[in-house]
Structure 1
């Protein structure tokens, strides 16, 4: 069995800037299931650009309710519905997710009821199942099993790393977290670990550009992981590949891929991907070996060298 991981949005934080990357969202295709992980702004366009028919929307997981992970959840499902979605969608997330969904439905009540009456669409309110979860097994459906681990992302307490196991393939998504040693055991032996990452030098420039610099620095350092800390988790877990995602900062012109590689190589010598919007990674089958990613010119499909 093999699968596909598509990084739809790779930026940490909710702001967007001209020509810059989009906030966090990921597509994982495993065992015939289409799994959307987090729904930051831009997820709907990212999915269509990745070739996914919105009518085939299947499973959605939200790691926590910060806006850069959940803002476009409602619009994604509504847009899929207007595109012809006719099958149920199951959405998993932390406590508070159902309140978000009910609020979204209320805000679009006029549009939903009008389209049902005028266009003969099925009732969107009956098509979505919301499942709030905590730690442990989130779902088991055929070959696919999903487990959750509460991570350290103050002040948010309901924030969860997710592990997807299907047909002998394992993919772990860290969610937003400070350095959290239990994540290494949770990720043990996974084919791919997608882990958030931050660069210290970039943080200082980011803080200097904002009007609440001291508070922002305090939050970032308490709630997020430096790139070398992500490498430590990957090394302790013995994963097949580390993918850096939710990059902070992701849109600093003074920071390039080489800077991320230099930081993470202090602690991780294995296969490495520095996230960028639209990047496609094959999971399962032949592994990439202990080498840097190589990319075809003009193509986001990774080649395992």
Structure 2
């Protein structure tokens, strides 16, 4: 099994538009494990299109509980179950993840009970283990180690950057965060840094289309990073490659890859990938 990162959903925020990208989700294949990172709308379809059989679902990590990162957690696991999942899935998420899963089970109780009785499926609740994590070491399993760093994403307190180390590779995901200098130390020397990014000149576009103008703008500026901020972290950390993800705006034709590259290359001279749905990056 090759070590790869597949970007399944690359837009920031929960809204979707015709022909546009999906909210945040990724598939990391590392140390023989298939690891889903965040479960925004479209993750199930994205995994299938990436060639993964959902019944092979193994590990899931949720960085925080905003809907564009967790909305399809329950539906993903349920869909995997209807595809033939019969082994344990472990979900690592911040405080509150257990309640999200319990609420999903309650909402689909009729369907789940009917399928167990009518189709002979195993008990879905018994197949899933939720582990709520905080800062520090999250998982050590043979050749795979996962560490979490609390980042700055107000008003969300429990939002975590994640570092995966395995097969001689280090991959860091910023999660959603305002510019956060400790992230440079956390990602020091990483092979790959996946960092959220906004274009300053694109904010007017996203605010105009989404509505709630001044309040939305205040949130975006206080809680997220511009592409140049991501570049600064990547440069300070000396990472091998910077991948821009959770793009804002991601679906405005007025802004192209050239805009993102121009914002980054002034600060970071290393390898740069501008995220798009379905992109596979070899590690």
**Shared fold (TM-score, shorter chain, > 0.5):** yes
Q: C-alpha distance in 1, partners of 2:28/2:80?
A: 18
Instruction: Between 200-209 and 25-34, report the one with greater CA deviation.
Output: 200-209
Counterpart residue number, 1:263: 263
Q: C-alpha distance in 1, partners of 2:211/2:75?
A: 31
| Alignment partner of 1:73 is 2:76 | no
Query: Map of 1:2-151 to 2, 5 A cutoff?
Result: 3-151=3-151
In structure 1, runs of 5+ residues without a counterpart are 284-305
Q: Extract structure 1 runs of 4+ deviating beyond 2 A.
A: 208-211
User: TM-score, normalised to structure 2's length?
Assistant: 0.99
Counterpart residue number, 1:297: none
Structure 1 counterpart SS, 2:242: strand
Q: C-alpha distance in 2, partners of 1:20/1:211?
A: 18
Q: C-alpha distance in 2, partners of 1:256/1:264?
A: 13
Structure 2 counterpart SS, 1:65: coil
Counterpart residue number, 2:170: 170
Q: C-alpha distance in 2, partners of 1:267/1:199?
A: 15
1:168 Cα offset (Å): 1.2
1:45 Cα offset (Å): 0.2
Q: C-alpha distance in 2, partners of 1:129/1:241?
A: 33
Q: C-alpha distance in 1, partners of 2:2/2:233?
A: 24
* Contact residue 13 and residue 23 of structure 1 kept, 8 A: yes
Query: Map of 1:289-300 to 2, 5 A cutoff?
Result: none
Structure 2 counterpart SS, 1:259: helix
Q: C-alpha distance in 1, partners of 2:276/2:77?
A: 24
Structure 1 counterpart SS, 2:77: helix
1:239 Cα offset (Å): 0.6
1:208 Cα offset (Å): 2.8
Query: Map of 1:149-298 to 2, 5 A cutoff?
Result: 149-283=149-283
Sort the Cα spacing of 1:2 and 1:121 in 2 relative to 1 into closer, same or farther, 3 A: closer
1:2 Cα offset (Å): 5.2
Q: Deviations over 1:5-51 (max 9, x none)?
A: 00000000000000000000000000110000000000000000000
Q: C-alpha distance in 1, partners of 2:74/2:208?
A: 34
* Contact residue 2 and residue 169 of structure 1 kept, 8 A: no
1:209 Cα offset (Å): 3.1
Q: Deviations over 1:29-79 (max 9, x none)?
A: 001100000000000000000000101000000000000000000000000
Q: C-alpha distance in 2, partners of 1:118/1:138?
A: 38
In structure 2, runs of 5+ residues without a counterpart are none
CA RMSD of aligned residues (A): 0.9
Structure 2 counterpart SS, 1:29: strand
* Contact residue 58 and residue 90 of structure 1 kept, 8 A: yes
Q: C-alpha distance in 2, partners of 1:173/1:16?
A: 23
Q: C-alpha distance in 2, partners of 1:118/1:2?
A: 39
* Contact residue 61 and residue 91 of structure 1 kept, 8 A: yes
Structure 2 counterpart SS, 1:98: helix
Q: C-alpha distance in 2, partners of 1:184/1:230?
A: 10
Aligned positions, number: 283
1:211 Cα offset (Å): 3.1
